[in-house]
Amino acid sequence: MAKPARTSRNRAIRNFQSAGTDAAGFIWGATDKAAGVFFRWITADHTGMSHVTKYMPVMGFLDNLRFLLLALMIQVAYAFMGGILIFLFIAFVIPYLLFGYI
């Protein structure tokens, strides 16, 4: 039995299939790289506590615990104040910039 002649339609379908495979491979690679970079960044110590504990003088367990809890409370207060500032910005500054009044 003779093979059917290759038509432009068959060629177009093959091109779409290979283009889809290439696009999927590219998206997979880009997603894999982005996820790796993101999770490496998210697991890093952005608070600086590793430097604080490394250069901290030798203290007893309770003194060390008290120091770390104080540092944690300061960071929580700082984050809370940042949240308040962001709220104020969204509630007052953006409407003023958009509409000219609060």
Residue 8 and residue 58 in one domain: no
Q: How far are the Cα atoms of 65, 80, 81, 83, 84 from residue 94, in angstroms, in the given order?
A: 42, 20, 19, 16, 15
Q: What is the pLDDT of residue 83?
A: 94
Residue 80 and residue 99 in one domain: yes
**pLDDT over 70 (residue 102):** no
Residue 1 and residue 26 in one domain: yes
Residue 7 and residue 32 in one domain: yes
Residue 99 and residue 52 in one domain: yes
Residue 28 and residue 51 in one domain: no
Residue 51 and residue 99 in one domain: yes
Structural domain containing residue 82? 47-102
**Whole-number percent of the chain with pLDDT over 90:** 23
Please state the domain count of the chain.
2
Tell me the pLDDT tens digit for each residue of 34-76.
888 888 888 887 777 777 777 777 888 898 889 889 988 998 9
